[in-house]
Amino acid sequence: MIVLENVSKTYGGTVKAVDNISLTVNNGEIFGFLGPNGAGKTTTIKMITGILSPDSGTITVNGKDIRKEPIEAKKQFGYVPDDPNVFLRLKGIEYLNFMADIYSVSPGDRKQRIENLARRFEMESALGDRIQSYSHGMRQKIVLMGVLIHDPSVWILDEPMMGLDPKSSFILKEMMREHADSGKTVFFSTHVLDVAEKICDRVAIINKGKILFCGRIEEMKEQFKRNESLEKMFLELTENEE
Amino acid sequence: MKSNLFILTKVQLKTGLSVQGRGRKNRSALLIFGLIAVAFLPLIIEIVKFLSDAYNALERIGQQGVLLSLSFTISSLVIFLFGIFYVLNIFYFANDVESLLPLPLKPGEILGAKFLVTVFYEYLTGIAFVLPIVAVYGVKSGGGVLFWLYAVLAFLLLPVIPLALASYIILPLMRFTGFAKNKDRFRLVGGIFALVLAFGYSYLNQKFVGSTLTSEGLQDLFLKGNNSLVGIVSRIFPTSRFAAESLVNASNISGLTNMALFFLVCALAFVLFLYLGEALYFQGVMGISETSARRRKLTSDELDKNISSKSVLMTCLLKELRILFRTPVYFLNCVIMNFLYPLFLIFPFLAQSSAGSLMGELGHIINNEKFGGYVLVGAFTLILLVSSNNGITSTAISREGSNLYISKYIPAKYSTQIMAKVLSGVLLSAGGILSLLLISAILFKINAAMMFAILVTGLAGALFTAFVGIMIDIIRPKLNWDNEQKAVKQNFNMLFTALICLAAAGVTIFGVIRLKLGFAETLAAILILYGLLDILMYYLVKTAGVKRFSEIET
Ligand SMILES: Nc1ncnc2c1ncn2[C@@H]1O[C@H](COP(=O)(O)OP(=O)(O)OP(=O)(O)O)[C@@H](O)[C@H]1O
Ligand SMILES: [Mg+2]
């Protein structure tokens, strides 16, 4: 569960990237975070994960405040950043092991999970090579594996499908569903509205740092009093804001 | 062709020279340069004084020209050695190569532009080695307009020949050897090659100069007068002779002919370079990839070996060391120097023919108990300087670059992550201490007590430099870089750390000499003083450092 209350963030004193937003992401749901380029999605996610500190407001993950108990809060989630270029000089296996050490994964679990994930994402033959030699999608996969290896209860994913091949993105969606169904939390941002429409239990639409809508897609349709696609409604919502 | 060459050169200079971004940072960089200039002013005055004394002494025997040829020769040499690095990095491994290759440009245009850019960079070297000497010579000898004109021409042309020579070596090497396929590996091989070359060159020079300039030979030369010594010194780098001769004889026709010859040789060297480039460049530069990959499935055993559990501190330290050792720029600038500097120090001795006796004498002094305190503080200072110059901690945060955010979201305490970086610095400095001990044990046969004292004081000093470095890098990290070179080489934090540690070393030496401390007293004084400083710095890093680190936003 993630709770944001009245969170704001201004870059360099001028660009108000996130403007007083409040959100609750419940256990057991996949929550989609939608919005045009530059809307403030990545900024919000960076504040939840402790990379940026909000100018005002509070953020808790599973009840732990990211500012007051940072280490405890950080243990609750796994994070896939929008840029998968991590520690390029490390080998895939070394990166996974680094993450496992940081999140103190037991040696038994570690091996079993690495083998399992490598098989599912078809990364077995790449683990011994440096991340530098990976393609964009492979880098995305190794970062994803680095999250899944410590089995966090809250998943925070910034455009996780970007660059993944159809099979991997299918597997990921399946895993997101399984994770939410087991009573845990998935929070992700995306531009692919078809995907959001199919797998999200709830969505929030953000534009220019403000939340325009937050709720189930059916609720949005009721609000629009029409049975339109998410894409149409999204475009209309973000257009009207001048 | 001409306009393309011009545009390319301009663009490359612009992107290359915007070292620290714009605005406030630029101004602070200027301020820093100003401060450094002021700090070095006394030194510069000293150098000028020394040069003018040397001029007076040499003038008495008609050998003042040797100053010029010496400066041209040495700077040619240095430019050549730097040139090997520059040519490799700017011609082959620069980030812009990939974006230039698809453009409809001739190899000659790309290379010509890159050559000119490199020449510009080398002027910095020229300023250091040529400017003071030429200025002193010009003023002292009352050089006329022609002298200054030739001086400017010589300065502008000086890098051409050494750079062309460096290119003649690199161009075929990159074209015909298989090394070139892997950027990383070749950066490393190239860097080490340059180091070996530097050693080799200095060794040969020592030998050469040593054998020609026996006291009889020297006297003979001096007696002949007429600046004939110029010829001898210039033999080390033959072409710089023309430049020196032309300045020495600026007032007569020989000045003009020598300058014309110099110009001609430079032009020839450049044309030959372009010709070689047209033939070899594209073939050599294409197909360079960042790294190699095996794409082989790990066996169960290999997997087991790779997944041992470690504490957070150890895993962060391991990550730090892996990146340091595997990134060629970091390896060459931060790691390898720790182990090689003792070699640099003893090299001049080894090259001397009478090395044996010199070493023995030095060994006597070093092992003389009377000087124990001075020897210890000398070794300590050396360690302080080397470990503050390796830049391991003073660029540790900067080196994270765009990956710094990872430190922020993983559930590892900031203090632990910072200490892992400090530890990596101390560890590699310790390697440097051991290599110093090893070499001085072999060469000077220093005793066990001294070795122990150097080891413990050295560790205390290394810890101090590591803390100073990390603190400075936390305060003003340089995170916005697109190639690793910028994180270490164009990072002022390394310089700041070195200056602070230099000051600390100065105070320490001063204290030991002033108080005439013996061996045991020096050992105790350094341990207590730096022990306290280390504790102080540790708290500072733990409190203010961690707080500031948490505020860094990318
Ligand atoms: N480091 C930064 N410094 C200054 N402004 C920034 C910075 N990062 C983002 N911004 C600004 O903040 C606003 C929100 O950016 P953010 O990255 O959160 O958008 P986003 O919703 O993730 O967009 P996208 O869909 O393109 O990823 C934008 O106006 C952007 O220009
Ligand atoms: Mg984004």
For residue B536, is it within any domain? Answer: yes
Residue B211 has pLDDT above 60, yes or no: no
B301 touches chain A (CB under 8 A): no
Distance in Å, alpha carbon of B473 to nearest chain A alpha carbon: 19
Distance (Å) from CA A147 to ligand 1 centroid: 24
Q: What is the mean pLDDT of residues A35-52?
A: 95
Q: Whose CA is nearest to atom 17 of ligand 1?
A: A42
**So where are chain A's domains?**
1-76+154-242, 83-152
Same domain for B131 and B230, yes or no, is yes
Segment of A73-77, A214-218, B221-225, B275-279 carrying the highest mean pLDDT: A73-77
Nearest to B296 among A85, A111, A125 (CB): A125
State the Cα–Cα distance between residues A79 and B358, nearest whole angstrom: 63
pLDDT-based confidence at B23, cuts 50/70/90? very low
Residue B213 has pLDDT above 60, yes or no: no
Among the listed ranges A97-101, A119-123, B441-445, B541-545, which one has the minimum average pLDDT value?
Answer: B441-445
Q: Note the pLDDT of residue B214.
A: 46
Q: Note the pLDDT of residue B33.
A: 67
Strands A64-65 and A15-25: unpaired
Same domain for B328 and B276, yes or no, is no
For residue B41, is it within any domain? Answer: no
Distance in Å, alpha carbon of A1 to nearest chain B alpha carbon: 17
Same domain for B156 and B265, yes or no, is yes
For residue B472, is it within any domain? Answer: yes
Residue B369 has pLDDT above 90, yes or no: no
Residue B364 has pLDDT above 50, yes or no: yes
Instruction: Report chain A residues whose CB lies below 8 A from the CB of B22.
Output: none
Q: Note the pLDDT of residue A92.
A: 95
For residue B60, is it within any domain? Answer: yes
Q: Say which residue, B332 or B518, is predicted with more confidence.
A: B518
Same domain for B215 and B114, yes or no, is yes
What is the CB-side half-sphere exposure of residue B476 using CA atoms within 13 A?
13
Nearest to B291 among A74, A85, A130 (CB): A130
pLDDT, tens only, B39-95 = 667 777 777 787 788 788 778 777 777 788 878 887 887 788 778 778 877 888 777
State the Cα–Cα distance between residues A98 and A104, nearest whole angstrom: 10
AA letter at B211 = S
Average pLDDT, chain A: 93
Same domain for B124 and B86, yes or no, is yes
For residue B527, is it within any domain? Answer: yes
Out of A18, A43, A51, give the residue to mutate to test ligand 1, the one with the largest number of ligand atoms within 8 Å of its CB. A43
Residue B28 has pLDDT above 90, yes or no: no
Among the listed ranges B254-263, B295-304, B408-417, which one has the minimum average pLDDT value?
Answer: B295-304
> Domain count of chain B?
2
CATH of A1-76+154-242, one of 1.10.10.10, 3.40.50.300, 3.30.70.3280, 1.10.730.10: 3.40.50.300
Q: What is the mean pLDDT of residues B471-497?
A: 90
pLDDT, tens only, B245-258 = 888 888 888 889 99
Same domain for B502 and B443, yes or no, is yes
Q: What is the DSSP string of B466-480?
A: HHHHHHHHHHS----
Q: What is the mean pLDDT of residues A49-74?
A: 95
In Å, how far are B7, B84, B129, B130, B271 from B158, measured between CA atoms? Answer: 24, 16, 11, 10, 16
Range of the domain at B495: 309-551
Instruction: Report chain B residues whose CB lies below 8 A from the CB of A72.
Output: 411
User: How many C-beta neighbours within 10 Å does residue B515 have?
Assistant: 12
- Interchain contact, A97 vs B315, CB within 8 Å: yes
State the Cα–Cα distance between residues B440 and B436, nearest whole angstrom: 6
Q: Note the pLDDT of residue B320.
A: 96
Q: What is the 3-state secondary structure (H, E, C) of B14-44?
A: HHHHCCCCCCHHHHHHHHHHHHHHHHHHHHH
Q: Note the pLDDT of residue B39.
A: 67
Instruction: Report chain A residues whose CB lies below 8 A from the CB of B318.
Output: 98
For residue B27, is it within any domain? Answer: no
Q: Say which residue, B442 or A186, is predicted with more confidence.
A: A186
pLDDT-based confidence at A146, cuts 50/70/90? very high
Among the listed ranges A36-50, B169-183, B413-427, B530-544, which one has the minimum average pLDDT value?
Answer: B169-183
Read off the tokens for A55: 């100018």
Residue B25 has pLDDT above 60, yes or no: no
Q: What is the 3-state secondary structure (H, E, C) of chain A?
A: CEEEEEEEEEECCCEEEEEEEEEEECCCCEEEEECCCCCCHHHHHHHHCCCCCCCEEEEEECCEECCCCHHHHHHHEEEECCCCCCCCCCEHHHHHHHHHHHCCCCHHHHHHHHHHHHHHCCCCCCCCCEHHHCCHHHHHHHHHHHHHCCCCCEEEEECCCCCCCHHHHHHHHHHHHHHHHCCCEEEEECCCHHHHHHHCCEEEEEECCEEEEEECHHHHHHHHCCCCCHHHHHHHHHHHCC
